[in-house]
Amino acid sequence: MHYLSINKEEWDKALEQIQLSFTIFAAVENDFGIDYEELNSSNISRIAYNRAKPATPLKTFFLPVKENVTSGQVRNRQRVIMGVPGCDVEGLKLLDEIYLDRDYIDIYYQQHRENTVIISFDCFERQEHCHCTSYGINPWSESADLSVIRVEDMILLRVATEKGNGFANHFSVTREMIDDKTLAVIDEAHKTALSKLSEAVKGLPGFETTGMLLQKAGDEIWARYSSRCVSCGACTTICPTCSCFLLIDKPGFEKIRQMDACQYPGFQRVAGGEDSLFELPRRFRNRYMCKYIWKPGKFSSVACTGCGRCIEACIGKINKNELFMELAK
Amino acid sequence: MNGMMNIYKPVRAKLTEVIEESPLIKTFVLIPETEFSFGTGQFIELSVDGIGEAPFTPSSSPHVTDKLEVTVMKTGYVTEYMHNLKPGAFMGIRGPYGRGYPVENFFGKEVIILGGGCGLAPIRSLLYALEHVKDKLDRVVLCYGSKTPADCVYKPLFNRLNSTEKFEAYRTVDKGDDDWDGPVGVATTLLNKVKVKPGNSVAVVCGPPIMMKFGTMKFLEMGYKDEEIYLSMEKNMSCGLGKCGHCMMGKYFVCKDGPVFTYDEIKDTPDIWK
């Protein structure tokens, strides 16, 4: 891993050129907050450097809502996702474990992954429900291909992979950055971000503790918290690690992979009628058991990154962290 | 796509024969267009073109590789379409998936099989596989229960097994009819008549959830250890690949980690009988 630096003005000019030959999605500021937009000369100035996470989870780029997985064509053109928060980079690791499982590789997911350069922004801003640090995740990433930090008029690039290096090479005016002073500034910014986050989530149990608490949770608390759930599936749709899907048949023995959610009634119903998740509290509980106990029992990547999107998205104003804090009391 | 293996693409299989087993159950004889083999207890995803796909464990012998048989009960949307298919039609097959019966673990032992309803389909495949290695087994006992005498599939199977060395087969029904003079009662009651040799015996249970539960309890009561009871779990296996999440049962994907589990492996998992 090494750092490169480039003057902000030169960076913007280079981006103007690069976006002509690459498809770049970047986290930009819009009227509603921050989200990904395809980069063009008019929105380069709105790139939201080192701000909090975009509204859309990263998974959407690799697992589209619907995809023909028998005859669909994946474009071979390389694409770049810029402005990915550290939490989403971590979330992608679980999807990689599932979809790139050596026994059964999903070649569509694999091609999307191979064709994509992931550029993260170190995150120096905390949104209301962010709690990545509670689950051992830093608000910056050292496993994204490339990371971008804006320090005043400088753009600093942390290069972590060959792919990231390849993309950085398109910026002809970068310099190796070995300036201790700038590194100290980055270090300080990380520390500030960490302490801001830890301060805000005081009392929230860690990942493993949450799992243990959930196992002991009685029926009453599930019934109470799920009473405001309308099974809309917003929490699973917006979750960077929820990746369940349905296969839909089309003539010619074609299959469409369509994102699905365990929060929808009938998710586990079998033809005979049995449905172990028929009751709402059971279904509601399932999502947390899956994230904090079952997936960790099977995979090595975390199944909740603490991004807080499920809390923001819930129209019933259900806050999982309130539930966990109550269990921890 | 670059010649890479596509895990979602079914192979076509020609339907050559449809056998009516009971008013609601048919067996489809299929010849896949490409080489296809499976281990007993593994399952396949069988599809009707453009309509849908569902998981089934083949009911034929794993040692017959030029064709396979799948027994299907008409019970929902996809299976209704299947029941309307005529010989000559093409179906789609993906698989085989999951972990089937570890037949080699049964060598030297007696195998007591408890089955109910449509659970006889996977059991028939297992029986064929066990017949194939009967020299290496102590004995095989089948205890099977159906709702009524008419609901029993593969009726000739029972006579055949009873005239096969080392094999015994017993039937019961929940409710008899005028012609029925055999036992009446749930499948587990048949186990009362079977003298087992605990310690050198394994139990296999396959049937509706309620029978799986009481069957397991019964075998435990008879002195079987948790790891000697093999259960074939039924969940909504949709992709068969350990990805789609529909068949998650605790930390297991039933499609990939199962569908055959020992009771020991899943006894601490919630909702296994649901």
ipTM: 0.91
Predicted local confidence at residue A282, as pLDDT = 95
**A58 with A84: CB under 8 angstroms?**
yes
Predicted local confidence at residue B34, as pLDDT = 94
Domain count, chain B: 2
Residues B116 and B187 in one domain: yes
What residues pair up with A27 in beta bridges, in sequence order?
A36
Residue B157 to chain A, least CA–CA distance (Å): 25
Residues B88 and B128 in one domain: no
Predicted local confidence at residue A77, as pLDDT = 79
Predicted local confidence at residue A168, as pLDDT = 93
Average pLDDT, chain B: 94
- Inside any domain, residue B242: no
- Please, which pLDDT band fits residue B22 given cuts at 50, 70 and 90? confident
| Cis omega (within 30 of 0) for bond into A54 | no
**B258 with B272: CB under 8 angstroms?**
no
Residue B14 to chain A, least CA–CA distance (Å): 14
The answer to whether A252 contacts B256, with C-beta atoms less than 8 Å apart, is: no
* Tens of pLDDT, residues B248-264: 999 999 999 999 999 99
The answer to whether A260 contacts B274, with C-beta atoms less than 8 Å apart, is: no
Predicted local confidence at residue A46, as pLDDT = 97
Residues of B in contact with A298 (CB under 8 A): 251-253
**A244 with B253: CB under 8 angstroms?**
no
Residues B38 and B137 in one domain: no
The answer to whether B9 contacts A106, with C-beta atoms less than 8 Å apart, is: no
- Inside any domain, residue B252: no
The answer to whether B244 contacts A244, with C-beta atoms less than 8 Å apart, is: yes
Predicted local confidence at residue B2, as pLDDT = 44
Interface with B, mutate which of A103, A268, A290 (most B CBs under 10 A): A268
Chain B contact for A249 (CB, 8 A cutoff)? yes
Full domain range(s) for residue B17:
11-97
Residues of B in contact with A74 (CB under 8 A): 1
Three-state secondary-structure class, residue A117 = strand
Low-confidence ranges of chain A (pLDDT < 70): none
Of B97, B115, B141, at which residue does a domain stop?
B97
Determine the Cα angle at B114 with ends B113 and B120, to 5°: 90
* Tens of pLDDT, residues B209-221: 899 999 999 999 9
**Residue A187 to residue A195: CA distance in whole angstroms:** 12
Residue A26 to chain B, least CA–CA distance (Å): 29
The answer to whether B1 contacts A269, with C-beta atoms less than 8 Å apart, is: no
**B86 with B18: CB under 8 angstroms?**
yes
**Residue A180 to residue B85: CA distance in whole angstroms:** 74
The answer to whether A295 contacts B251, with C-beta atoms less than 8 Å apart, is: yes
Residues B19 and B123 in one domain: no
Residues B112 and B225 in one domain: yes
Chain B residue with minimal CA distance to A253? B49
> At residue B21, what is the residue type?
E
Predicted local confidence at residue A88, as pLDDT = 98
**A294 with B271: CB under 8 angstroms?**
no
**A307 with A85: CB under 8 angstroms?**
yes
HSE-CB for B193 with a 13 A CA cutoff: 16
Residues B42 and B108 in one domain: no
- Inside any domain, residue B261: no
- Inside any domain, residue B121: yes
Residues B53 and B133 in one domain: no
Determine the Cα angle at B87 with ends B83 and B91, to 5°: 70
**Residue A275 to residue B110: CA distance in whole angstroms:** 35
Residues B81 and B201 in one domain: no
Structure tokens at B16: 């050559």
Enter the pTM of the model: 0.94
Comparing CA positions, the residue from A34, A39, A37 lying closest to residue A50 is A34
- Average pLDDT value for residue range B242-246: 97
- Inside any domain, residue B70: yes
What angle in degrees, to the nearest 10, is found between the helix axes of A86-99 and A107-114?
140
* Tens of pLDDT, residues A97-156: 999 999 999 999 999 999 999 999 999 999 999 999 999 999 999 999 999 999 989 999
Structure tokens at A294: 């079952």
Chain A residue with minimal CA distance to B256? A103
Predicted local confidence at residue B1, as pLDDT = 42
Report strand pairing: B110-116 vs B139-146: parallel
CB within 8 Å of chain B, chain A residues 268-287: 268-272, 274-276, 282
**Residue A251 to residue B191: CA distance in whole angstroms:** 47
Of B63, B97, B131, at which residue does a domain stop?
B97
The answer to whether B274 contacts A107, with C-beta atoms less than 8 Å apart, is: no
Count of Cβ atoms closer than 10 Å to residue A275 Cβ:
17
The answer for A196, left when phi > 0, alpha when psi is -120 to 50, beta otherwise, is alpha
